[in-house]
Amino acid sequence: MIFKCVNCGGNVIYSPEKAGMYCPYCDSDESGEKAQGAGFTCISCGAPLEVEEFTSACKCKYCGSYSILEERVEGEFTPHLVLPFKVGKKQAKEKIVEQFKKKRFIPSDFLSEAKMEKMEGNYVPFFMYDYDCKYHYEGIGKKVRVWRSGNTEYTETSLYKVERNMDVDFAGIPVDASKGMKDDMMDLLEPYDYQALEQFQDKYLSGFLSERYNMGSEELSIRAREKAKKDAESMIKSTLTAYQSVKTESDEANLSLKDTKYSLLPVWSYLYEYGGKKYEFHLNGQTGKLVGEPPISTKKVVAYSTTTFLGVFAILNFLRMILEVI
């Protein structure tokens, strides 16, 4: 299915800038109607669509129209919620340029318009879990007192048994349900502002790529539980500031699942190949937060470091910068 313009027949897409449907061909708003097709062919031009096992929205390689595969956003695959893109393609590109334009050793075509234009917005499938959590913590807190009398320095170390109980409700712990997206990168894209979540409507997918969930919510709940436990632990630790250090003796989180929601979250992805290696950059489509590891052009590095020893420092600085970007 595609959204077709009633004025000109072009492909109507959801525009993050306008926060509504828009036809880029005749520059009109809210002019789309659904056009149904059969099988995996593009309704605009008739070409076969490249559809993989989990694809639920894709772009035609030939005419650039965006199709939505209805059977993959229906029934058990209907998302409960969607977080519409707020950051448009232009702004996403600007964010990446801004981040990398001043960095040395980046391959020269990394920020080229031709490469960056290939960037696509993805609605990534997530499950969001609500848990009631009862957390019990036991540890040993250490207090150290140091004082001086004459020429002697005294140190007194006191150990305290620390015990805490906490009841906490976690709402909407997100776990990505896409095998293709790296879990650590998806985690780093957080946080999203979930207040902006909306009831799912297929029009939001027009203009973007999407997948239905690749794994079930039960299977993925292991990661949600780990996140809940980790968050509970850091909440407890934040109440233990009176001690210089606290050693955990035991902790236990009893989690009961209250609700699970299947949601689509917006991510801009820039895939770049350099020296036979693939590099991925992902940008939170709501907040603009960027994660990824930039490629280093070895040619440039060598050219620079043979001229001056400073090059070595520059490389070290650059590596540190990579870590900061991530």
Residues that bind Zn ion (CB under 5 A): 5, 7-8, 10, 23, 25-26, 42, 44-45, 47, 60, 62-63, 65
Would you say 10 or 174 has its CB closer to Zn ion?
Answer: 10
* Cβ closest to Zn ion, residue 52 vs residue 184: 52
- Cα–Cα distance for residue pair 272/266, rounded to 1 Å: 20
> Is 155 within 8 Å of 148 (Cβ atoms)?
no
Neighbours of 28 (CB within 10 A): 17
Minimum distance from residue 64 beta carbon to Zn ion (Å): 7
Residue 215, Cβ density class (10 Å: 0-12 exposed, 13-18 middle, ≥19 buried): middle
CB of 35 to Zn ion, least distance (A): 12
Q: Please provide the DSSP assignment of 60-94 as one string.
A: -TTT--EEE-GGGSSGGG--SEE----S-HHHHHH
Q: Quote the least distance from Cβ 8 to Zn ion, whole Å.
A: 3
CA distance 141 to 216: 41
- The DSSP bridge partners found for residue 25 are none
Cβ 30 to Zn ion shortest distance, Å? 11
Q: How far is the CB of 120 from Zn ion (least distance, A)?
A: 15
Query: 16 vs 21, 83, 92, 253, CA distance in Å?
Result: 9, 11, 11, 40
Q: How far apart are the first and last CA of the chain?
A: 37
Distance in Å, CB of 29 to Zn ion, minimum: 10
CA 38 to chain centroid: 33
Nearer to Zn ion (CB atom), residue 61 or residue 143 = 61
| DSSP code at position 18 | T
10 or 292: CB nearest Zn ion: 10
Residue 9 neighbours by CB under 8 Å, 6+ apart: 25
Nearest CA to 80 out of 17, 125, 45 is that of 125
Residue closer to Zn ion (CB basis): 48 or 216: 48
CA distance 112 to 109: 5
Whose Cβ is closer to Zn ion: residue 22's or residue 192's?
22
Q: Which residue, 61 or 320, has its beta carbon nearer to Zn ion?
A: 61
Least distance from Zn ion to the Cβ atom of residue 205, Å: 16
CB of 41 to Zn ion, least distance (A): 8
Q: Indicate the residue among 46 and 275 with the shorter CB distance to Zn ion.
A: 46
